[in-house]
Amino acid sequence: MNGLVDILRENNQKIVFTNGCFDLLHPGHVDYLAKAKAFGDVLMVGLNSDASVQTLKGEQRPINKVMDRLKMLAALEAVDFVIIFEEDTPLKLIQKIKPDYLVKGGDYSMDNIVGSDFINENGGKVEIIPFLNGYSSSELIEKIKTLK
């Protein structure tokens, strides 16, 4: 991955990074990722591994396995690269990539974005994109449960 980042930098490509579980991909995710991509030239998405999702969301998650989630994300026009990470947070990945922009969704504030201090100290920018109302993977899962 370091070689890829070096090539992108040599070609003056602005790297945008975001991350998430993206368990049940929905229009809110698609909108968010398109808006994230607009900050730069290349969008890299850190994707929580199955074990990481389980730690964060509970034993019943993820609904979709990591390779299925990766395939769906990679198929989106806005997404250039998807990188799976095993840790609970993407901090090591952020430190390795050193993106120009770190982007998170509207459920975050500047003081609770993992890696924001690192990005700010290294000349990057941190951006928060408001959520598209009416879309939530967790709410979608609960709705599906009621259909039984």
For 33-50, the pLDDT digits (tens) are 999 999 999 999 999 999
**Lookup: tokens for 144:** 């599906």
Pick the closest to residue 73 from 126, 40, 36 (CA basis).
Answer: 36
pLDDT tens digit sequence for 55-113: 998 888 899 999 999 999 999 999 999 999 999 999 999 999 999 999 998 787 888 89
Q: Cα–Cα distance between 53 and 49 in angstroms, integer?
A: 6
Does the structure show a pLDDT above 80 at 21?
A: yes
pLDDT value at residue 107 = 80
Q: Mean per-residue pLDDT for 11-36?
A: 95
Does the structure show a pLDDT above 90 at 30?
A: yes
* Host domain of residue 85: 2-146
Q: Mean per-residue pLDDT for 15-21?
A: 97
DSSP assignment string, 94-146: HHHH--SEEEEETT--GGG-TTHHHHHHTT-EEEEEPPPTT--HHHHHHHHHH
Q: What is the CATH number of the domain that holds 131?
A: 3.40.50.620
Q: Mean per-residue pLDDT for 138-142?
A: 76
Structurally, the chain folds into a number of domains equal to: 1
